[in-house]
Structure 1
């Protein structure tokens, strides 16, 4: 028999199974219940447990104030994301996305809409996450009866980018901005147009995500010369020149030195794109 440890509200309670707490949700689950009472497992719609106490504690606090329909709809959105996204999602997504969706719905009800200034970049840099964001708008409309604007699909997409990188939202905004700066520099230096459907471009963007994350974290690995360096630089001279410009820009603007190994990989990614790209006249 399942015993209640805490009652958060009529729809959310905490169970204690031999010292391991779990949060369970279901409509009317906590109605007229007290700690020590038993519950019917058939009424449970969602169970959440985390090995990280801070995540669990923050979620407990959050779920105390958020309507059950927002909680269950957010869970449906996360389930869609787990199905469609390749990266592993950190448990913090349950906190950040539930909080965001609740706040977005409250803002919409009040007519207080926020313009997403990075929407174009998000569509281009994170197409899979943005697709999930659009599906999230469909789910919110289906279960909560509000159609949020496309800007919100972009915000939701960034939450999933953040959950895969296990960073913070401000960091994800900055990563997105810097990636776009680098792509603009590559486009200008090589006089090419990007093909957003290109697998080579998606590989470059994935590489840049983690490169910029390391850069912002100040992770300056030891400079190691590889025998492949000269061969790759010789094979892709235009890309090598372009990477030199990127390195100079990063050094001057962000005070970060791109090491030889990083330059080699960037040259390889950019070189492949350059070889296949139609050149602008």
Structure 2
């Protein structure tokens, strides 16, 4: 929605309820929920009850709950507005590129991350990302957004970062896509890599990362991993169907059983027969040469 149109719909609610600093003020939306409005000089000499100058508005932030709002306010008081603007540009680019809604908390997590990363790089503290390869291959669209981000940071903030930081930013985008925490995103990425290794070791093959079947397997593993860490596994289906797949694709089903045992041992989650069926079918597709057309 066009920002000016959005503001016009706020009507009487677009008044200052609190001045945070020269560039941020609090207000309320049409549902009387607290929002934070960003704009250069928007809080300068403003007082509670004043109409917000819509011509100065650059971004309206809404957060999920009071705790998130309060944390965002604390960041606003501590961080340069330039870091918020860069973060906002990255998030807008991610939304356009992915065509998805992102969890609003990314405005907190990504801005905070960028601020700390800028500090680290300016002070010569550079860390490698041990999951760089996995992020590039399992979350390539998000990694490309990360590359866009590091280029934007260089242009706007004068700090040159590299591919490790692109992967870090990509994981923040992944979190916002799937409503997970950063620790879960790291565990999911590791689990996907471990499952693929079980497949490649079992069949002694190298997977074609350009194939449609590989892409579909990765997508399936993302959601399987998310279900594992959220404790929302698919329920058991009819055992007859699982038996049919086990008979039709015995080696692939055995591989799926290996994956099941690994997940149970490492993560204390037992996957259902329905999950086994899906895994076996996907494994069959990537482990055999088939016509994808």
Taking structure 2 as the reference length, the TM-score comes to: 0.88
- Measured in 1, the distance between the counterparts of 2:28 and 2:265 equals 54
1:103, distance to aligned residue in structure 2 (A): 0.9
Spell out, residue by residue over 1:141-181, the C-alpha distance to the aligned partner (whole angstroms, 9 max, x if none): 12112221211100000011111121111111111111111
TM-superposed CA distance for 1:233, in Å, is 3.0
Of the three residues 212, 225, 246, the one matched with 2:259 is 246
Mapped partners of 1:108, 1:242: distance in 2: 44
Aligned to 1:228: 241
State the superposition RMSD in angstroms: 1.9
1:30 pairs with one of 26, 43, 47 = 43
- What SS does the corresponding residue of 1:276 show, helix, strand or coil? coil
Match of 1:11 among 5, 10, 23: 23
Unaligned runs of 5+ in 1: none
* Partners of 2:111 and 2:288 in 1: CA distance: 44
TM-score w.r.t. the length of structure 1 is: 0.91
Q: 1:188 to 1:74 in 2, by over 3 A?
A: same
Kept in 1: contact 2:83–2:114 (CA 8 A): yes
Check conservation: 1:12, 1:64, Cα contact below 8 A: no
Find the aligned partners of 2:234 and 2:278 in 1 and give their Cα distance.
Answer: 14
Q: Distance in 2 between matches of 1:253 and 1:91?
A: 32
User: SS where residue 35 of structure 2 aligns?
Assistant: strand
Q: 2:60 aligns with which of 27, 41, 47?
A: 47
**Aligned in 2, Cα 1:17/1:203: closer, same or farther, shift over 3 Å?**
closer
Moved more, 213-222 or 191-200: 213-222
Decide which of 97, 114, 117 is 2:130's aligned counterpart: 117
Q: 1:111 to 1:51 in 2, by over 3 A?
A: closer
Q: Determine the C-alpha separation between the residues in 1 that align with 2:172 and 2:99.
A: 15
1:90 to 103, 117, 132: 103
Residues paired across the two proteins, number: 277
Moved more, 3-12 or 263-272: 3-12
Native 8 Å contact 2:234 2:274 kept in 1: no
